[in-house]
Amino acid sequence: MTSKINNFIITVVILAIFIVGGYFLWQDQQNVNLTDMDKFAKCLKYRGAVFYGAFWCAHCSSQKSMFGDSKKFIPYVECSTLDGQKQTQKCKDEGVTSYPTWKFADNSKQTGEISLQNLAEKTGCELSQ
């Protein structure tokens, strides 16, 4: 009986090692195809930066365009209601009063279009030149 339990435990441990190892290999593979800008945008999110904007805001569109195709990875929160007339409760709660607004992990905020270099300095994310 004890031998069966020991064999079962060993089998479970080996299986768990393969599952965890496979997960990490899969994660590494996911990052292989990322561009430098993809990695930068993802880093901003990882470091706690959040971009608050509105779909009708020209400066927000300009800020997004700085990221090119990597804009899908930026930590963006839409603050406008669908009719473009009101602000969402989340943005009110965050104290967002103008667009674009970036909020950082230290709770500081910067408004207006912010250069990628400034974002890199503020977050410590690496920006490839």
Task: Return the H-helix or E-strand segment holding 122.
Answer: helix 116-123
Q: How many helices (H) and strands (E) does the chain have?
A: 5, 4
23: phi then psi, degrees, rounded to nearest 5: -60, -45
Tell me how far CA of residue 46 lies from CA of 34, 105, 118, in angstroms. 15, 10, 17
Clarify whether residues 53 and 14 are in a common domain.
no
pLDDT recorded at residue 13: 72
Both structure tokens of 28 = 């590494």
Clarify whether residues 74 and 93 are in a common domain.
yes
Clarify whether residues 71 and 104 are in a common domain.
yes
For residue 128, tell me if it sits in a domain.
no
Clarify whether residues 81 and 106 are in a common domain.
yes
pLDDT (tens, 9 = 90+) of the chain, 129 residues, equals 677 776 777 776 777 677 766 666 555 555 446 799 999 999 999 999 999 999 999 999 999 999 999 999 999 999 999 999 999 999 999 999 999 999 999 999 999 999 999 999 999 999 986
pLDDT recorded at residue 19: 77
Query: Range of 69's domain?
Result: 36-123
Q: Going by C-beta distance under 8 Å and a sequence separation of 6 or more, which residues neighbour residue 100? A: 51, 52, 53, 57, 59, 60, 63, 111, 112, 113, 114
Clarify whether residues 57 and 111 are in a common domain.
yes
pLDDT recorded at residue 34: 76
Task: Return the H-helix or E-strand segment holding 92.
Answer: helix 89-93
Clarify whether residues 3 and 45 are in a common domain.
no
End-to-end CA distance of the chain: 64
